[in-house]
């Protein structure tokens, strides 16, 4: 049963209740509108010739898929002219992208992972778009983006799964909207999403086990020991390899997601990127009553040093995140 509250109505109500300004509401609408187009491209797949490799690499040294590049360009094109942002930054661009001179500058900065879970595109498994919105600052554009996650004024993701869903927080809880393809609108279907404090489900890429640090080794060994171990209960495991899909599962039924620091490349403190993956997801998870740390500190409290900086991520049900974080201090 779908509700009759559209994203437009939800944003209008939030403006009337004065915790959202007009430009921020318009920016969220513009991001959502663009993600409907990305959803169309994703769902067309081979019919539109959008699967496969782009034949290029990004600044992270990762091969780009065609859809990584297409989704990135759609977001740039969908937002540049709006007068709502003064710059955009993305996983797929080495430097922040200024707004072309012919368009007005806006009060916000937009960061995004245009297509998260790229390894799943060609095998028709869920992918998503992650976004983070900050207030514009002073000085050189790129340095304006380097604000702690706690400064985000809104964050969200769009999951391109069996349903296309927008999950959004403007700092007043977390709301889930399902795209109604008949009218092209996101409709509020999951109001005030909250993460259960306890869980029996974890998500980690077990193939990296030999590279993990001791606290993570200990925590996962205890989960695997199940009923016969110190936890006294059995745990189940999931790994989609799309952070958007894992976080959505956790927002829906609880769980813990970890992409911890590992010893594969000592120069990288984790795989995921702080600015457009970990920060927006941590903001959502905290807004839903969960927790998100790098093993020691709240992710949203970290002072960023670079647009593409990586971070260890442990997020989800509060009791579990607190336990594994505690192990890092023992
Ligand atoms: P992206 O496709 O944007 O590069 O991000 C993929 C991320 C994340 O979504 C997922 O949790 C993780 O990488 C999967 O990594 P592994 O392939 O190492 O499991
Ligand atoms: Mn990603
Ligand atoms: Mn990506």
pTM for this model (two decimals): 0.98
Distance, in Å, from the CA atom of 134 to the CA atom of 108, rounded to the nearest integer, reads 6
Q: Considering just the CA atoms, what is the radius of gyration of the chain in Å?
A: 19
Q: Give the ranges where the chain is alpha helix by DSSP (H).
A: 7-16, 22-44, 66-79, 141-144, 214-225, 243-253, 279-287, 318-327
**DSSP letter string, 50-90:** --SEEEEE-TTSPEEEHHHHHHHHHHHHHHGGGSSEEEEEE
For residue 187, the model assigns a pLDDT of 98
253 φ/ψ angles, rounded to the nearest 5 degrees: -135, 15
CA angle at 191 for the pair 201 and 198, rounded to the nearest 5°? 25
Query: Which atom of ligand 1 lies closest to the CA of 113?
Result: 3
Ligand 1 pocket mutation, candidates 272, 274, 311, criterion most atoms within 8 A of CB:
272
Taking the CB of residue 22, how many other CB atoms lie within 10 A of it? 11
Nearest CA to ligand 1 atom 6: 117
Distance, in Å, from the CA atom of 239 to the CA atom of 202, rounded to the nearest integer, reads 8
Distance, in Å, from the CA atom of 129 to the CA atom of 124, rounded to the nearest integer, reads 15
For residue 34, the model assigns a pLDDT of 98
Which ligand is closest to the CA of 121, given by its number?
1
For residue 324, the model assigns a pLDDT of 98
Q: Which residues contact 61 (CB under 8 A, 6 or more apart)?
A: none
**How many residues would you count in the chain?**
330
Q: How far is CA 154 from CA 136, 143, 169, in A?
A: 13, 19, 6
Nearest CA to ligand 1 atom 3: 116
Burial class (CB in 10 A: 0-12, 13-18, 19+), 270: buried
Q: What is the dihedral of CA 86, 89, 95, 96, to 10 degrees?
A: 10
- Identify the structural domains of the chain with CATH numbers, from first to last: 7-190 (3.30.540.10), 201-329 (3.40.190.80)
Q: Which helix (H) or strand (E) holds 315?
A: strand 313-316
Ligand 1 pocket mutation, candidates 54, 58, 116, 281, criterion most atoms within 8 A of CB:
116
Q: Residue 150 in contact with residue 185, Cβ under 8 Å?
A: no
Quote the ligand 1 centre to 269 CA distance (angstroms).
15
Quote the ligand 1 centre to 241 CA distance (angstroms).
5
Which residues have C-beta atoms less than 6 Å from ligand 1?
62, 91, 113, 116-119, 205, 241-243, 259, 271
Largest CA distance in the chain: 66
178 φ/ψ angles, rounded to the nearest 5 degrees: -105, 135
3-state secondary structure of 48: helix
285 token code pair? 């998870």
**What is the edge-to-edge ordering of all strands in the sheet holding 175-180?**
97-98, 85-90, 108-116, 127-135, 154-160, 164-169, 175-180, 185-190
Each of the 330 residues of the chain gets a pLDDT tens digit; together they read 456 999 999 999 999 999 999 999 999 999 999 999 999 999 999 999 999 999 999 988 899 999 999 999 999 999 999 999 999 999 999 999 999 999 999 999 999 999 999 999 999 999 999 999 999 999 999 999 999 999 999 999 999 999 999 999 999 999 999 999 999 999 999 999 999 998 999 999 999 999 999 999 999 999 999 999 999 999 999 999 999 999 999 999 999 999 999 999 988 999 999 999 999 999 999 999 999 999 999 999 999 999 999 999 999 999 999 999 999 999
């Amino acid at each position: 049963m779908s509700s009759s509250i559209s994203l437009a109505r939800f944003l209008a109500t939030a403006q009337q209740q004065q915790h959202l300004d007009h430009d921020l509401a318009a920016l969220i609408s513009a991001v959502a509108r663009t993600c409907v187009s990305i959803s169309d491209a994703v769902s067309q797949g081979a019919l539109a010739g959008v699967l496969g490799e782009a034949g290029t690499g990004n600044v992270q040294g990762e091969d780009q898929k065609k859809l990584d590049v297409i989704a990135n360009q759609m977001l740039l094109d969908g937002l540049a002219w709006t007068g709502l942002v003064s710059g955009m930054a993305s996983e797929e661009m080495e430097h922040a992208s200024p707004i072309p001179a012919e368009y007005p500058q806006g009060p916000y900065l937009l960061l995004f992972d245009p297509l998260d879970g790229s390894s799943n595109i060609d095998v028709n498994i869920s992918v998503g778009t992650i976004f983070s919105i900050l207030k514009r600052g002073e000085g050189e554009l790129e340095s304006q983006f380097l604000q702690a996650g706690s400064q985000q004024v809104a964050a969200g993701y769009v999951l391109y799964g069996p349903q296309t869903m927008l999950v959004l927080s403007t700092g007043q809880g977390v709301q889930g909207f399902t795209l109604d393809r008949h009218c092209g609108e996101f409709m509020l279907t999951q109001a005030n999403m909250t993460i259960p404090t306890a869980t029996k489900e974890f998500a980690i890429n077990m193939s990296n086990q030999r590279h993990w640090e001791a606290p993570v080794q200990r925590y996962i060994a205890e989960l695997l020991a199940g009923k016969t171990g110190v936890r006294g209960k059995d745990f189940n495991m999931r790994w989609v390899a799309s952070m958007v899909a894992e976080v959505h599962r956790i927002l829906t039924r609880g769980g813990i997601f970890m992409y911890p620091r590992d010893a594969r490349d000592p120069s990288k403190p984790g795989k995921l990127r702080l600015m457009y993956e970990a920060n927006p997801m941590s903001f959502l998870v905290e807004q839903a009553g969960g927790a998100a740390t790098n093993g020691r500190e709240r992710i949203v409290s970290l002072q960023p040093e670079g647009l593409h900086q990586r971070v260890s991520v442990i997020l989800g049900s509060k009791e579990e995140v607190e336990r594994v974080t505690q192990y890092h201090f023992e």
